[in-house]
Structure 1
Amino acid sequence: MAKLFDISIPEGASNLKLDSQGRGSVHYTVKSLTRVPIDARGVLIAMPNTSVDPNHPVTKGWVKIEGKPERHLDVNGEDAFTVTVAVPPKSVAGTYSYRLDVVSAARPDEGDSSPVVTFKVEAKEKPKTNWGIIAAVIAVVVVVGGVMIWLIARKSGGGVPNVVGMNIADATAALTKVNVRIQQPVVTKVGAATDADKVLEQSLPEGTKIAVDTTVALTVGAELVQVPNIIGQSVADAQKTLATAHLSLGKATNAPNGNFSAGVVWKQSPDVNLSVKTNSAVDVNVTPQTVAVPALTGIGLSDVIGRVQGAQLTLSGFSGNLTGSPTIAQSIPPGTPVPIGTAVTVTFPSTNVCVIAGRCIYTGATARLLAPKVAHW
C-alpha cells in the first residue's frame, strides 16, 4: 500500500517495446499522498533487486530519468516522470526489468515503488542491404548501360530505339540519350515475375523520326508481392524493409500513440500480407518526432538517397537530367526542422527525362523515386 506517493503508468506500458534503434520510453504519474508539501526524488532500481548486476541496462546508464530526478510536490500535487531506454547497438540480447522508486528527498529510506517494467533487447540481424555494394552495382550498370545505349542508338539510325524487353532503368536511359520523353503515368501490367520491371510495349515503333518533345508511352511489367509488416520500425528501417519487397514508403502522417516511442511506425496501409503491385506505395502513421533536413545540393542521386533515408525523410520526386550532374536545388532548406517522414524533392540541371540505374516512375511533372532494385538487370 502506498505511503507517500501513488505511482502509475499507462495501461500496457509494463511491457515496453523498443524500436529498431533500441529506444523506448515510459511516462509515470506521481501523486503526493502526504498532508504537507514534500520534495520527491526518483530512483531507478534494476530488477530483480537481489544483487548488483554490472551488465544491467540500469547499471550501465542506458535507462535514465529525463530531466531532474527531484521534484517538489504540494499537498495532493502530482508531477510526471519520464524514463527513457536507449540500448547501444550490438548490445547483448536479453530480457531486462526495472522499476521507478519515488522517495522522500529528506528521508530516502521512505517511499513507494512503481509497477515493474520489462523490455527485451533483440539480437541484431546482419543487415540484408549493403548500400555500398548497391552503389557499386549502380556505377557498373551506368557504364554497361552507356554501352547498350550507344549500340541501340547506332542500330536505330537516330530514330526512336526499341526498348521492349529492357528493364525500365536501361529503357529510360536509352530514351533520354535521344531526347525522347516518357508519357506519364507509366502503365503497369501484372504478369510473370520474369517480366517485372521490363518494358512490355512501346507506343512508337523503332526508327520513328524524333521531333521536339517526342513522347513515347511504355507498358512495364509488374508482379504481385505481399506487403511486409513495418509496424514498430523506424522510418529508415521501414524504407529498407519495403525496398526489399520492391515497394516504397508513401505518405507519412505524424500522429501520437502512447504505446510506441517517438519516430516509430504504428499503422500502415495497405495492411500486412495484402497483395499489391511492385512499385506500390505504403502509407504510414508515425509517432511524432522532429528531424533536421540534410544538405542535398551538389551531390549525386545515390548520395541524395542515402542522406534522405538516413535522416528518416522520404524522397518524393525530382526534376532535371540526372546524367553525371549533381543536384542544384532542394525543396526544403537544409537545417529546417520538419516532422519525421516529410517528403522532399531535389532538382538536377536542365529539364529532361529521368535516368537512374534502378527504377523511376513519374507522377505528373516530377518523378516519384522508388528504391533501386537490382533483381532484373
Structure 2
Amino acid sequence: MKKNCYLIFSVLVFYLTSCISQENPPKISTPEKSNYSTVTVVDGIDIPWGMDFITENDLLVTEKKGVLYRVINGEKNEVAGLPEIYQRGQGGLLDVAVHPDFKNNQIIYFTTAAFVEGDPGGNTALYTAVLNGNQLDDLKLLYKATPNTKKGQHWGSRIVFDDRGHLFFGIGDRGNRDVNPQDLKRDGGKIYRLNLDGSIPDDNPFVNEDDALAAIYSYGHRNPQGMTVHPETGEIWENEHGPKGGDEINIIKKGKNYGWPVITYGINYSGTSITDKTALPGMEQPYYYWVPSIAPSGMAFSSSGVYRKWKGDLFVGSLKFKYLERLELKRGKVVKREKILNEIGRIRNVKEGPDGYLYVGVEGKGILKVVKN
C-alpha cells in the first residue's frame, strides 16, 4: 500500500513540476527606439542557410540552392567540388562548419539534401572535405540518412562540436512524424554524435543496442534548425520547429527522448489536436517553448563583452516574424524576450564571430553584422 501511495505521489509531483516550469512564458517586447543596426558583410545571397568563420575576415556561407561561398574581406567566391545536391522543398545545401583544428588540417563539414542513383527521393547527408583555396578536395560522405523519401520537409540541420572531439548534427522527422522520431531503428527526428573522422563514439547511448542506430545521441525531435554550444557549461543547445505552436529550445542530453510527437505544446496546422499530452514520464520538457510559433532558425549565445548588457543572453532568428529575438536567461529560465532588428527579414542563421559580434544570415540580403548605433 505504501509503495502504491509513493508511486502515485511521484507521478503527481512529476506532472505538477512539469506544468509549473512551463507556465506563463514571458511575452516579447519591442524597444521604442533600437540602439542596434546592421552592416552588410556580403550581399547577393538568396537563402544563406549556414555560415562559419575561418578567421574574422574569412567566412564560409552556404546558399540553399547549392552554392558554397568563401567570403574574404566582403568579396565572395564560389567554392568548387561540392557533391550533387538534391533540391526538393526545404532541402538543398544546408549547414557548414569549420573543423576545430582547421588551421592545421583545412577540413570542413557540411550537410545537404542527398540522393542515391536508382533510389527515388532523398534524405539528409553529412560530408567532409579539405578546403584548398576555393576548391574542395578529398570529399567524403560521413553519414547518409535512410530511407529516401520524396517528401520535401524537415531535413534539419545544424552542425556543432563539443570540446571532447565530437561532432553533433540534427536531422528532422522528414515529414514522417508518426514513425521516425520515436523509432531508434530509423533516421529522422534525431540528434547524432560522431567522432570528427566520422566514426561512432564508443560511449554513444545506443551503441550496444541491436535495435537502434549507433550514431543517435537523442531522439523525439521535429525539425532542428538551430544548435549552439553554451560558452560556459559546454552543453549542446538546440531549437526546433513545432507545428502550429510548440517551437522549442532544448538542452540536448545523452540518450534522452524529447517527446515529438507523443508530447507537444503545438497543434496541427488545421487547428486539430496532435495529442492531449504536454508531459509524460521518460520524456524531456523543453527549456523554453513558443506559442504562437516564431519559426526559429539559427541560435547563438553572446559570450563576449562587445554587447555589455547582452553577455550570456541567447539569440534566435525568426523566419516567421522576421526579427532577431534576444532571450535573457536567469536561474534556468527565460525571464525576458526582446525583438532586435525588427522587420529585418527572414533570419535563417545566427553566429557569434571571432570578433565577438553577432552575425545573421537574412534571406534575400546576405550576411549582416549587428552593431551598436
Instruction: Name the TM tier (shorter chain).
Output: under 0.3
More strand by share: 2
Larger Rg: 1
Higher relative contact order (CA 8 A, sep 6+): 2
If the length of structure 1 is used for normalisation, what is the TM-score? 0.24
